[in-house]
Structure 1
Amino acid sequence: MTSTVPKNKKKLSKRITAVIVTVLLWAFAAFWFAPIFWMLSTSMKSTAAAVIETPPQWIPQNPTLENYKIIFAPSGGLSLVKATINSIIVAVSSTLATLALSIPAAYALSRLRFRGRMLIFWIYVAVLAFPSVLFLIPHFFIINGMGLSNSYLSLILPGLGGTFGVFLLRQYMLDIPKELEDAAWIDGCTKLRFLISIVIPFVKPAMLVLGLMTFLGSWNSFLWPLLILSKADKFTLPIALIRFSAGWGDPYRGIGPMMAGAFFSVAPSLIIFIVFHRYLMKGISLGSLGKE
């Protein structure tokens, strides 16, 4: 009898803790989602008065899509449709190119044995410690010197030197059993065939995580495109939105369209996060630095 009472108390305390944690997580989720919901609500308000009225209306009385029609109408040489296409081209190309370069590099650092392998790996790790903003000026002079300014390549090439993808895939490839590799060599499997037939299917979860993170990073990139682009027909969506918002003389009249543009810009990232959040969270815990 005495032994069951402490067990019941432990179960009750675990349930109370779980309830408290769940409530706190829902509160944090609501706090995080509130600005996004406000952005969507404001983008569907029909008048400037409805946008700035006090107390604010979280749900518009007469919702309209007029603000979305405004942002997609070409204005002052800017076209958000063209900017969206540019962002899609750059984000997809950057993702595919990053995967194409990171997979063989990670394979070499994880499965092949050659002199200086660990030195190269630790150099990769050391580069991760530097913020990307330090490379902006060298990238600008290199891209400008090559005559690639105002082109898709100027937005894609600098991101291909990132080391995170190689590090992530390399740590995941270390989990491939050595016995599986030995059996493949006995069966006459070449290194290329082993990479294609065994390694790539094994690291698909990590590839998905890397692809999603690369796509989101490229889609939301702002500072580098702002520095390297000067022609409106090559603007990506974040740059086009900034130029679009600067064209409104009356800031209150432009709040609705600007909120519509901001929500349209963030919607793909939000959808990707909701659909693939489990894989993105898993990517944080993939592999470990101490594996060898």
Structure 2
Amino acid sequence: MRKRREKIIRIIGSILLWIFAAFWFVPIFWMLITSLKESSSAVMEYPPRWIPDPATLNNYRRVFTPAGGISVVRGLRNSLIVATVTGILGLVIATPAAYALARMRFTGQKVAFWLYIAILAFPGIIFLVPNFLIVHSLGLMNTFAALIFPTFGTTFGVFLLRQYMLGIPRELEDAAWIDGCSRLRFLITIVIPYIKPALFVLALMTFLGSWNNFLWPLLVMQSPEKFTLPIALVRFAGGTQWNDPYRGIGALMAGSFISVAPTLLIFVVFNKYLMQGVYLGSVGKE
């Protein structure tokens, strides 16, 4: 009887999860099929046709054709560069910071950690003005450095890696000291391999956060050749005039799908590692 009840609960849970997944997936699917429609009648017909007939890639050709000085291809390249560098530098900054908070003992360690935690309580938008003033005073406006430096080494990243590092047995660390292992060598040869799942998760989250960032690049970038993909898509939409506005909707849907495609691909391919890394990082010891 108990096994039967558990089986029923699992079935109901699976059905609910599929329903929630459908609510998330349907808009993306609609975005894709709209991007494959050519005529205005196909875009606006009611009831909507879920399978475009005929399907066309003309909207994607329009998106990849520079218009009004805006190049979506260049924006795609810029976003890839900025997001990749931000993800790598985020690991370089967060790893030693997390190691200091998790494995070292110094005056004010607890205070420093709880200050980190307190920062998580503030919405990121309140740091826009201070970051803008700092970037402007350093002469970094309209450069990739303005997009990279304020966003790597996140507080959440330090917290996530710290939780992982707390799980390293103290006996292993003591044995390393007896063998004459320095802190840097211990970090590189023991700690980093141990927290590899967390590093993977943090790199992906930092990459996706930079990839989807819109407001900050909008504030600090002025040159069209420096626009990231979200800004390029918005300027492309605003600067391109269509004789048939509904054909413009198809092109906008194509550009939007290009923007979300890397996120979908990363989640599908690395879903197992993302879930594992977040779960294991949440059970670290204090």
TM-score of the two chains, using structure 1 as the length reference:
0.94
Please point out which of 254, 258, 261 is paired with 2:252. 258
Q: Hey, what does 1:271 align to over in structure 2?
A: 265
Q: Hey, what does 1:159 align to over in structure 2?
A: 151
Structure 1 SS opposite 2:49: coil
Distance change (3 Å), C-alpha of 1:260 and 1:139: same
Structure 2 SS opposite 1:62: coil
Please point out which of 124, 143, 164 is paired with 1:172. 164
Structure 2 SS opposite 1:154: helix
Q: Hey, what does 2:26 align to over in structure 1?
A: 34
Please point out which of 216, 220, 223 is paired with 2:215. 223
Distance in 2 of aligned mates of 1:171 and 1:230: 40
What is the CA distance between 1:47 and its match in structure 2? Answer: 1.1
Distance change (3 Å), C-alpha of 1:253 and 1:174: same
Higher mean C-alpha displacement, 126-135 vs 21-30:
21-30
| Matched residue count | 284
Letter paired with 2:222: S
What is the CA distance between 1:124 and its match in structure 2? Answer: 0.7
Structure 2 SS opposite 1:253: helix
The yes-or-no answer on 1:22 pairing with 2:14 is yes
The yes-or-no answer on 1:132 pairing with 2:137 is no
Larger Rg: 1
Q: Hey, what does 2:190 align to over in structure 1?
A: 198
Aligned ranges 1:20-99 → 2 under 5 Å: 20-99=12-91
Identity %: 60
Higher mean C-alpha displacement, 196-205 vs 112-121:
112-121
Structure 1 SS opposite 2:150: helix
What is the CA distance between 1:26 and its match in structure 2? Answer: 1.3
Please point out which of 219, 241, 244 is paired with 2:236. 244
Structure 2 unaligned spans of 5+: none
Please point out which of 225, 229, 232 is paired with 1:233. 225
Q: Hey, what does 1:6 align to over in structure 2?
A: none
Structure 2 SS opposite 1:159: coil
What is the CA distance between 1:211 and its match in structure 2? Answer: 0.4
Report Cα offsets for 1:114-155 as digits up to 9, x if no partner: 111111111111111111000001111111121111100000
TM-score of the two chains, using structure 2 as the length reference:
0.96
Distance in 2 of aligned mates of 1:20 and 1:288: 27
Letter paired with 1:22: S
What is the CA distance between 1:162 and its match in structure 2? Answer: 2.2
Letter paired with 2:113: F
Distance change (3 Å), C-alpha of 1:288 and 1:61: closer
Distance in 1 of aligned mates of 2:168 and 2:178: 16
Distance in 2 of aligned mates of 1:21 and 1:13: 12
